[in-house]
Structure 1
């Protein structure tokens, strides 16, 4: 079931990637402060950069703490928000108990953002994931940030800081 969640997330991002025209802004243009988490670049999956504690060596492990960033052009605020809400609903449908849910629409440096954070748990297998997902739209570019902390919450605030520190 856990691998299914990762596959569904990648599937959603792949759909978004294949249905959206990418513009001149590339992931390489985005300044990501990985010193906040000390996470390493792990891989690029169809336009989504993934970062984990140990980089590439974590890719085949089950449920590593990680964050990912995807860029897309000409995505509406409503469509991007719908994608994040879909990730939340998928977790619920997979039977996770959802707690500490916080959703917020706001402005950061004049740019619209939406963020959602929550804790998903499955006590039967001692699974607890602190989730922070968000996006920001700058001009016509969407920056889509997805993260999961499976290390007892030690990274969740750092994931938030990493998102807020993104520079174009």
Structure 2
């Protein structure tokens, strides 16, 4: 996940942050029991143990970022960039599910999959999604390296978003 967090920061570095402010965003971050770990230039990261997990190689975590001037097509591209970077890094992708839907009347999309690397006994259950209101998007990324223990909680956290 540390790798995924770094990738996310790289992908969003050329996108300006939206008019929607963090304090305007309603998201129930208590569903997982996770703690605020870091704010990487507007990407808010939560992990099981908070800041101490940032130093670990692959913590189970979720993160969200607010982005401005993003169409659904461009937001999907951002999520697919994360997927393609995982493939290029040698991860095997399986159980891929993607869905266009709505969240509180707003355009919403999610992309979930399992990424594995048998050589390193690595298995990550990924749930990435976005919701857009008036061209402002909330991008949500998550990785569950605890055998799906938090996967459903990550989904519930995403679906708790109100913008």
- Normalised by the length of structure 2, the TM-score is 0.93
Gaps of 5+ in 2: none
Deviation at 1:4, TM superposition (A): 4.8
Query: Could you tell me how far apart the structure 2 residues matched to 1:82 and 1:91 are?
Result: 14
Deviation at 1:21, TM superposition (A): 4.8
- RMSD over aligned Cα atoms: 1.5
Relative distance call for 1:140 and 1:6 in structure 2 (3 A) is closer
**Matching residue of 1:74:** 69
Residue pair 1:14, 1:46 contacting (<8 A) in 2 also: no
**Matching residue of 1:10:** 9
Relative distance call for 1:109 and 1:4 in structure 2 (3 A) is closer
Give secondary structure in 1 for the equivalent of 2:29: coil
**Matching residue of 2:26:** 31
Deviation at 1:33, TM superposition (A): 1.1
Relative distance call for 1:145 and 1:6 in structure 2 (3 A) is closer
**Matching residue of 1:106:** 101
Specify which of 126, 134, 137 is matched with residue 129 of structure 2. Answer: 134
Q: Deviations along 1:100-155, whole A, 9 cap, x unmatched?
A: 00011112222111100000000111000000000000123201000000111100
Query: Could you tell me how far apart the structure 1 residues matched to 2:139 and 2:113 are?
Result: 17
Asked if 1:22 corresponds to 2:21, the answer is no
Relative distance call for 1:144 and 1:3 in structure 2 (3 A) is closer
Deviation at 1:32, TM superposition (A): 2.0
Q: How many residues align?
A: 163
Deviation at 1:95, TM superposition (A): 1.1
